[in-house]
Structure formats: C-alpha cells, structure tokens
C-alpha cells in the first residue's frame, strides 16, 4: 500500500497542486485542534477524598486458632470390654455424669476373691482368740500349781511360751487382715473404674473408642473420649519474633472469624509462651487470651485473624495514607486540598497515629475538606497515577 499511495501523492502534486495545498491545510487544522485539546482543552482528572471523623487503631496482626479454655482426655483405668457409651458427639454433660461402662466381670471377681480371703482370715482370728483364751487359763493354772509345788517350773514356762506364740501369731493375722481390707478397698475402686464419669462439665469433642472394643489399662491409660468446656475459648495467636516485643500481657486484643470478618471478639492478653514455634524457617511466639462463648458460636480449631491493639483513637479526624505527600524537615506532610472549583492548593499537615490505610490529622485540615488522593494524567506512555502532593 505504501508505493501506490506515494504514486498517488506524486500525481496529485504534478496535476493538482491546489488540492495538495488544501490537504496540507486540513491536516494543519486537525493537528492544531489535537494539540489544544491535549494541552489546554482537557482538565487533568483527580481523585479526591473527604476528611472525616472515625476510629483508628494501631495493632500487631497475627493469625491463630481457637481452643477450649479447659479440655481433658477421659481414659479407662480398668481393663475390659467397653460395653456401652452413654454420650454422643457434641453432647453437653454435667460433672459426674455417667459417660461409659466397661465390663465389670474382672473387677468383680477380684473383689470377691479379696473378700473371701478376708473372711477366711477373720474366721482364723476367731479361732486363735479362743485358743489364746485357753492358753491364758493354762498359764493361770500352772501358776497355781507351781505355788502349791504341784508342778515343775518347766510346765509353767511351757504354758507361758505357748501363750506368747499365740499372741504373736494373732498379731501377724491382724496385720494380714489390715492388708486384706486395703485390697478390698482397692478392688472396689477398680470396680468403680468400670463406670467412667465426667470429671468436668463440658461437651463431648471426640469419641476415640467404640462400643465392644477391648481396652487394656496396663502401661498407659487408653483414651475413651475427650471433653471441652466451650463456654470460654482460648485464642492461640502466632506472633512473629519481629512483632512479639510490642506485645505485653494486659493489652487489649481482638479476633475475627474467616466466616464473619466484620464481627470482632475482644479480650485481654493473658500470657506469652516463652518457647517459640518454628514455622517455615520463621520463629513465632504464641500469644494467649480468652473470650466468652455463651452462644457456642466459636468452635474448636477455628482459624482467626488476631489484632493486639497498641494504640487507638476514637472519633478522630482521619485522612487516607494515599493522600500524604512527602514529609518535611519538621515532620509534617504535604497534601493538596481542593477548594471548591479552583485548582488544588498545597498545605502542610501534622499527622498523629498511623494505621494500615488511614492516618490521624492533628492540624492543617478541617472536617469535610476534600484532599487529592490520587492524580490521573496522560503522558507519552499512556495513563499514569501519582500520589497527591
């Protein structure tokens, strides 16, 4: 297309010079209009924000999880078959409520054997007491005979020795009876272990053993289920080592849920675990605080977004950070204020607390004023954005 167009222009110049002059004039007018539109005829659009009042906070941000404030694993201290579980997952239980039952046959047999041993020892003791009574009478008789010179001293000594042996045997039997009574008490306790009751009020979080399964409580206590008190939850926030120095017990903290990011739950930092956790080659410290959960909306192991408040402003004069220009030597910032229909006017403002997106205005601006946030201009490279100021 370039060669035919050039040939056409050459023919126009040779045969119609006036038409060529007309084309040049039209092109000049169009160029002038375009130049005027780009330079003078088009105002540069600006984006403005209004200075308004609101709340602002400065916080250490972290992620964390929810845990019950109290949680226990309920195990079996008796061996046998788990005959029945009386609770379901999520069920609320009271302290002392029956949770599960283990086959009591082994424990009952042990108790009966201990009771039988005790009964035998008690019967033997009664026999020894009767024998001891006879031995006491024989000692008295031998003493009378010896006084009447009707027996030998050896007969009197033999009666004494027999009585002493009976007394020693009775003392040993009494000690054995004490031991057997202790064994009966222990057997009764083990029989009580076959009925597993709740050590605390809470909700059933897990059921780790099924009905009919055999549990063996020898070297370790087998876990039957776990209970948690969900009326109050503990937040375990993972704070990086770069931010943990700014966190102290007693500071106000809050968290929001992934499913409800606009709702906040507030608490107070209770403690910071001294030992860090290494996650992806970075060190994080666990910051703890508690919140009430009366409606049970908060659940175990929920992921939460945590903020530990460092400073906050209520109903302060706020300005977006994007409207702040360069900082001067005295610490103030340049901003561009848009007064009505005129051009933006530069002004210096003093800033207080800074948040993630907004800053507190201490002086230099009034509520309701419009400030240039982002300026849009067209350049050789196309549309560009520049921060006001």
Q: How far is CA 279 from the centre of its chain?
A: 16
Question: Are 34 and 271 in contact, with CB atoms under 8 Å apart?
Answer: no
**Final residue of a structural domain among 313, 332, 354:** 313
Does some domain include residue 220? no
- The total of other beta-carbon atoms located within 10 Å of residue 147's CB is 10
298 and 351 both lie in a single domain: no
383 and 334 both lie in a single domain: yes
251 and 299 both lie in a single domain: yes
CA distance 75 to 106: 18
**In total, how many domains does the chain have?**
4
**Final residue of a structural domain among 313, 343, 364:** 313
Question: Are 197 and 86 in contact, with CB atoms under 8 Å apart?
Answer: no
For 293-337, what is each residue's pLDDT tens digit? 998 999 999 999 999 999 999 999 999 988 898 889 898 999 999
CA distance 228 to 206: 9
Domain residues for 153? 104-193
CA distance 20 to 81: 109
293 and 330 both lie in a single domain: no
Question: Are 100 and 239 in contact, with CB atoms under 8 Å apart?
Answer: no
Does some domain include residue 96? no
CATH for 296: 2.40.30.170
136 and 188 both lie in a single domain: yes
Which SS3 state, helix, strand or coil, does residue 248 take? Answer: coil
Q: What is the pTM of this model?
A: 0.66
Q: What percent of the chain has pLDDT over 70?
A: 84
The count of residues in the chain is: 389
243 and 304 both lie in a single domain: yes
Nearest to 388 by CA among 323, 327, 326: 323
For 1-52, what is each residue's pLDDT tens digit? 444 655 655 565 555 555 555 556 566 555 555 555 554 544 556 688 889 9
CA distance 302 to 68: 11
Contacts of 110 (CB under 8 A, 6+ apart): 187, 190, 191
354 and 366 both lie in a single domain: yes
328 and 285 both lie in a single domain: no
Residue 146 — pLDDT band, cuts 50, 70, 90?
confident
CA distance 389 to 373: 9
376 and 297 both lie in a single domain: no
In Å, how far are 44, 324, 377, 389 from 343, measured between CA atoms? 10, 18, 15, 13
Residue 123 — pLDDT band, cuts 50, 70, 90?
very high
**Final residue of a structural domain among 313, 331, 351:** 313
135 and 158 both lie in a single domain: yes
50 and 10 both lie in a single domain: no
361 and 304 both lie in a single domain: no
Does some domain include residue 209? no
């Amino acid at each position: 297309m370039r060669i035919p167009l050039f040939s056409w222009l050459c023919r126009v110049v040779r045969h119609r010079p006036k038409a060529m002059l007309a084309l040049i004039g039209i092109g000049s007018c169009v160029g002038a209009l375009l130049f005027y539109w780009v330079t003078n005829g088009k105002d540069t659009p600006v984006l403005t924000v209004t200075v308004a009042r609101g709340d602002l906070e400065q916080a250490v941000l972290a992620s964390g999880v929810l845990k019950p404030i109290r949680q226990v694993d309920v195990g079996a201290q008796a061996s046998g078959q788990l005959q029945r579980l009386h609770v379901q997952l999520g069920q609320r239980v009271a302290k002392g409520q029956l949770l599960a039952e283990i086959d009591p046959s082994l424990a009952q047999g042990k108790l009966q054997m201990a009771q039988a041993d005790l009964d035998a020892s008690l019967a033997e003791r009664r026999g020894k007491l009767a024998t001891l009574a006879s031995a006491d009478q024989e000692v008295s008789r031998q003493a009378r005979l010896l006084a009447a010179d009707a027996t030998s001293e050896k007969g009197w000594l033999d009666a004494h020795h027999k009585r002493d042996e009976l007394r020693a045997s009775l003392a040993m039997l009494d000690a054995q009876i004490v031991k057997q009574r202790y064994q009966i008490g222990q057997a009764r306790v083990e029989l009580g272990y076959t009925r597993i009751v709740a050590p605390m009020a809470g909700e059933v979080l897990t059921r780790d053993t099924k009905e009919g399964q055999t549990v063996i409580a020898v070297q370790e206590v087998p876990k039957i289920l776990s209970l948690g008190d969900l009326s109050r939850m503990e937040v375990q926030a993972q704070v990086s080592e770069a931010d943990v120095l700014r966190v102290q017990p007693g500071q106000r903290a809050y968290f929001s849920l992934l499913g409800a990011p606009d709702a906040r739950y507030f608490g107070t930092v209770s403690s910071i675990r001294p030992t860090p956790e290494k996650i992806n080659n970075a060190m994080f410290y666990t910051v703890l605080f508690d919140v009430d959960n009366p409606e049970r909306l908060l659940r175990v192991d929920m992921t939460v977004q945590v903020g530990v408040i460092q400073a906050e402003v209520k109903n302060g004069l706020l300005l977006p950070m994007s409207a702040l220009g360069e900082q001067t030597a005295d610490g103030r910032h340049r901003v561009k204020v848009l007064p009505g229909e005129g051009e933006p006017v530069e002004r210096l403002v003093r800033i207080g607390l800074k948040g993630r997106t907004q800053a507190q205005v201490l002086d230099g601006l009034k509520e309701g004023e419009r400030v240039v946030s982002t300026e849009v201009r067209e350049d050789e490279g196309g549309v560009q954005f520049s921060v006001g100021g």
